[in-house]
Amino acid sequence: MPSPSAADTARRLADLKAEVARDSAVRPPPPIAAASLPWRWEYLARRALAVLALLVLPFVLLVRGSVFLYTRHGFPTWIALLSAAGVMLLVVTAYAAWLAHRFTGRLRVTIVAQWVAAPLVLGFCAHALLFLARANAKGDQVQAEYRATHPLLRVALATLMLANNDLVVTDLRRVPADYARMGLPVFDGTLHARQPDGWAHAVDLRTIGRGAIVNLLVEWYFRAMGFRTLRHVGTADHLHVELPLH
C-alpha cells in the first residue's frame, strides 16, 4: 500500500492534469489582429482594382496599340488594327488558359485560343466595326454613316460603350451642305469630311444631360487612347473627337 505522501502526490498530480485539460478545452484562441484579417476592405479594394485592370487591359492594348501604330509609326489602318488585335488575342488566350488550368488542372493553350479567345476577340472587333446601336446614335443618318468613319474610331467608340452604354454619337461624316443646314460657315479642313483614305476621321459626342464627371472621364479616355479632343459649342455643346492624319 502506498504511503500517504505518495498517494497525496499522485492525487495532486491528477488534479493538476485535469485542471490543465479543462483550461485547454475552454480557453478561447488568441484574438487575431484586425490588420491581419485577409478580407479587410483594403484587401478587397486592391483585389477589385487588380481584377478590373486585368479586364480592361486587352481593350487598352487593342485601342491604344492600334492608334499608336497608326499615328506614331505610320502603319496602314488595317495592319495597325490587326497587329493590336493579335496582341489582344494573346492576352485573352493567356487569361483563358490560366482559368482552364485553375479549374481543370489542364493547360490546353491551343484549344482555348481556338474556341474561346479567338471567337471573343474576332466577335468584338466585327461588332465594333460594323454595328452602332440605334440607342447610341442621334438619328438614322448618324447610324447609317457609322461605317464611313475610320475603323480605329469605331473600335474606340465600341470599347467605351462597354462601360458607358448611354453614350450618344451626334455627328460623324459631314459634307459642305451640312454646314449651310446648321447655319455655320464651311470649314474645308474638318476631319468630319471624307479624307484621302476614304473615311471620316472625327465624331461628335453628346454632352448635354450628362454629368460633368462622366463627360470629363470620356474626354480623358479618348486622350489617353491617342485621339485629339475638343469641347466646344457649334450648334450645341458637344465633345469633338478626331484621329489625326499621318
Q: What is the DSSP string of 41-92?
A: HHHHHHHHHHHHHHHHHHHHHHHHHHHHHHHHS---HHHHHHHHHHHHHHHH
Residues 78 and 182 in one domain: no
**106 and 162 belong to one structural domain:** no
Q: Is residue 154 part of a domain?
A: yes
What percent of the chain clears pLDDT 70, i.e. is strictly above it? Answer: 78
List all residues 6 or more positions away from 162 whose beta carbon is below 8 Å from its beta carbon: 59
Tell me the average pLDDT across 50-68: 94
Length of the chain in terms of residues written: 246
148 and 209 within one domain: yes
Are 161 and 244 in the same domain? yes
What was the pLDDT predicted at 133?
Answer: 96
Average of per-residue pLDDT across 220-246? 89
Report the distance separating Cα 33 and Cα 87, nearest Å: 44
d(CA 31, CA 28): 8
Check pLDDT > 60 for residue 187.
Answer: no
Give every CB contact of residue 233 below 8 A, 6+ residues apart in sequence: none
Same domain, 236 and 153: yes
State the pLDDT at residue 217.
96
Higher-pLDDT residue of 183 and 149 is 149
pLDDT: which is higher, 100 or 246:
100
In a domain, 65, yes or no: yes
Show Cβ contacts of residue 89 under 8 Å, excluding neighbours closer than 6 positions. 113, 117, 118, 121
Q: What single DSSP character describes residue 114?
A: I
Query: What would the grid cell of residue 235 be?
Result: 450648334
Q: What is the pLDDT of residue 39?
A: 62
Global pTM?
Answer: 0.79
State whether 78 and 121 are in the same domain: yes
Q: How confident is the model at residue 180 (pLDDT cuts 50, 70, 90)?
A: very low
Same domain, 152 and 245: yes
Domain boundary among 69, 99, 130: 130
Grid cell locating 102: 485553375
Q: What is the pLDDT of residue 160?
A: 97
Domain extent, residue 222, equals 134-246
**Residue 91 and residue 142 in one domain:** no
- In contact, 151 and 177? CB cutoff 8 Å: no
What's the confidence (pLDDT) of residue 103? 86
pLDDT tens-digit readout, 120-140: 999 999 999 999 999 999 999
* Band (226; pLDDT cuts 50, 70, 90): very high
Looking at 130, 153, 180, the residue that finishes a domain is 130
CATH number, domain containing residue 234: 3.30.1380.10
Ramachandran quadrant class, 62 (left: phi over 0; alpha: psi -120 to 50; beta: rest) = alpha
Amino acid in position 102: R
Provide the mean pLDDT of the chain: 85
DSSP state of 243: P
Please state the rounded mean pLDDT for residues 187-213.
90
Q: Are 100 and 160 found together in one domain?
A: no
Identify whether residues 60 and 90 lie together within a single domain. yes
Asked whether residue 141 carries a pLDDT value surpassing 80, the answer given is: yes
**Taking a C-beta distance cutoff of 8 angstroms, is the pair 173, 200 a contact?**
yes
Share of the chain above pLDDT 90, in %: 63
Is residue 222 situated within a structural domain?
yes
